[in-house]
Amino acid sequence: MDKRIELIPTTSHSSDGFTPQGEAPASGPLVDTFGRIADDLRISVTDRCNFRCTYCMPAEGLPWLPREDILTFEEITRLAGVFEGLGVKEIKLTGGEPTIRREFPKLVAMARTAHPDLAISMTTNGFLLDRLAQPLADAGLDRVTVSCDSLMRHRFAEMTRRDALEKVFEGLRAAEAAGLTPIKLNCVVIAGTNEDEVVDFARFSRRTGYEVRFIEYMPLDAEQHWERAKVVPSAEILETIDKVFPLIAQGEGVEPATTFRFADGARGAVGVIASVTEPFCDTCNRLRITAEGQLRACLFAMNETDLRTPLRAGAADRELEDLIRSSVWAKWEGHKINHPDFQRPGRSMSMIGG
C-alpha cells in the first residue's frame, strides 16, 4: 500500500495501551494521572499548506480534508473558551499553514473579542506575513513564531520546495513592525542538510533579537524518510554555538524549549526542542486540536478524542469539559521514540498541527 495513503486521518482510534486509574477530577486544572497540568493549547485551523517542506509533506501535498470536516471559526472560538475555563492560558493557532485559511484575521478577531484574557499566538511559515501581519495584530494576535530552516536562499528553497526566503524575511520585518513580538524562529535541524548553519542562526538572533529555537527532526514526516542518523542532538547544537557565542542557561521551566541567553549580553536567545534525544514528556503541558476537531494529548499519541461530533450535536460546555478532562486524564506517560516498540502515529506533522 502507498505509505502516504496510510496517513489519511482516520476516526478509528488505535489504543496506546495505557489505562488510567480512577476518574478525572471534576474541577480544578486539566491534570493527568502523572500530575502534569495541561495549559498550552495548539489549534490547527487547516491541514493545507503553501510550502512543501521535505521533512513534513510530499511535493504533491496530501489528500486534504473536505471543507465541511474542518472546524468553523465559531467552533474554534467556542472550544478556545471551554479550554480557557479549564485553565488554558494560551492558544497557538497553527496548521498546515494558518495564514492560508480564508479570512484568518476574522478568526483571530472573533477569538480575541470572546476571550480578551487569552494569549493568542500563531506558528507560520511567514510567507504571507508581509500583508497579514498588521491585520492580524489589529485583530488581536499577540505574537508569532516563524519557521525558517535556512538563511541561504538555495537551501531554503530545497528544504521548503519554495524559493521564498526573501518573502519570509519581509514577513518577519512586517511582524516586527506590527508589534507581534517577541518573535521566535523555529528551525528544524537535519544532519547533512542544514546543521552547518546553527552558528549563523545564533548570529542572526543576536542581530535581530529573535529567539531561535532549534527543533530535532521527528518521525512525523509524511513520506517516512526520517531516520535516527538525521537527528542532530540539541546538546551538539548548543555546544557548537557555545564555542563561538558563549551561552547562559535560562533555567528549567515547563516550556519544552530550553532557553539560553548570550553571555556577553547581546540580544536574542537560543532555544532547543530535544524531543528525540532528551524527551521532556514529564513536564509536557501541551494539548493539540487537529483541524477537524480531534484532541491529542501528545504529538505521538495513538488515540484522539473527537470534539467535533459532540460540538455539532449540541453538547453543553459541561459535557465538552468532561470529555476533555477524561482525555487529558488518559494521557500516557510519554512517547516512545526511544523504545524498540515505537510506532509512528497515524498522522504526520501537518495533519496534527505542530
Residues that bind ligand SAM (CB under 6 A): 49, 55-56, 94-95, 97, 123-125, 147, 186, 188, 215, 217-218, 220-221, 349-350, 354
Closest CA to 184 of 121, 241, 117: 121
Judged by beta carbon, residue 124 or residue 234, the one nearer ligand SAM is 124
Buried b (16+ CB within 10 A) or exposed e, 78-99: bbbbbbbebebebbbbbbbbbb
Judged by beta carbon, residue 29 or residue 334, the one nearer ligand SAM is 334
CB of 52 to ligand SAM, least distance (A): 11
CB of 213 to ligand SAM, least distance (A): 9
CB of 21 to ligand SAM, least distance (A): 33
Judged by beta carbon, residue 40 or residue 221, the one nearer ligand SAM is 221
Closest CA to 9 of 222, 205, 217, 165: 222
Judged by beta carbon, residue 49 or residue 111, the one nearer ligand SAM is 49
Judged by beta carbon, residue 103 or residue 227, the one nearer ligand SAM is 227
As given in the structure block, the three cell numbers for residue 238 are 548548543
Judged by beta carbon, residue 82 or residue 93, the one nearer ligand SAM is 93
Distance separating alpha carbons of residues 323 and 151, to the nearest angstrom: 44
CB of 85 to ligand SAM, least distance (A): 26
CB of 8 to ligand SAM, least distance (A): 17
As given in the structure block, the three cell numbers for residue 319 are 459535557
CB of 187 to ligand SAM, least distance (A): 8
Judged by beta carbon, residue 232 or residue 349, the one nearer ligand SAM is 349
Residue whose CB is nearest to ligand SAM in the complex, by number: 354
CB of 323 to ligand SAM, least distance (A): 25
CB of 227 to ligand SAM, least distance (A): 12
Judged by beta carbon, residue 55 or residue 201, the one nearer ligand SAM is 55
